[in-house]
Amino acid sequence: MEFLRDPEIWVALGFVIVVGIFLWQRVPAFIAGLLDQRAAAISKELDEAKRLREEAAALLADYKRKAASAEKEAESIVTEARAEAERFASEARTQLTAQIERRAQQAQDKIAQAEAQATAEIRALAADAAAAAAEKLIATRIDEKRAGALIDQSIKELPSKLN
């Protein structure tokens, strides 16, 4: 019994008893079950992560398509706006040119009208001046006898001028 005094024997015996209790209570199966559950949970999380990654990739591709589409639409809108602005500028230039031409024509018409009016006034003034000068000239050169003879002659010519 000397071997019972050796501490290594008691340690070995305790170890064997603990291992025996573990096996009797099915601890390895329990630990294996826990590890299997943990492996299943990790596998499930990996599958979920993979699914989420695929969804994220699909969303990213969708957003890239939408961004490209929005960029094309924006480019189209800008092109359309430039064309419309160009058309508006062209129309504005045309309208401005037409308005300038109308105003120039109106100014020329006013100038022509003013010239005609000035010419008419000058002619009227010239006729008035000529009549006044003729009246003065006639008054100074014609005496009463001669004036009476001119009036009588004019009266005689009147019926032939009226027909």
Q: Give me the residue label for tokens 């599958």.
A: 47
Is the predicted pLDDT of residue 160 greater than 90, yes or no?
A: no
How high is the pLDDT of residue 31? 82
* 48-52 average pLDDT score: 96
How high is the pLDDT of residue 89? 94
Is the predicted pLDDT of residue 163 greater than 80, yes or no?
A: no
Lowest mean pLDDT among 43-52, 54-63, 152-161: 152-161
Lowest mean pLDDT among 66-70, 89-93, 135-139: 135-139
- Alpha carbon distance 26, 20 (integer Å): 10
Lowest mean pLDDT among 7-16, 43-52, 85-94: 7-16
**In three state form, how does the secondary structure of the chain look?**
CHHHHCHHHHHHHHHHHHHHHHHHCCHHHHHHHHHHHHHHHHHHHHHHHHHHHHHHHHHHHHHHHHHHHHHHHHHHHHHHHHHHHHHHHHHHHHHHHHHHHHHHHHHHHHHHHHHHHHHHHHHHHHHHHHHHHHHHHHHHHCCHHHHHHHHHHHHHHHHHHHC
Is the predicted pLDDT of residue 27 greater than 80, yes or no?
A: no
Percent over 70 (pLDDT), the chain: 98
How high is the pLDDT of residue 99? 95
13 compared with 142, residue with greater pLDDT: 13
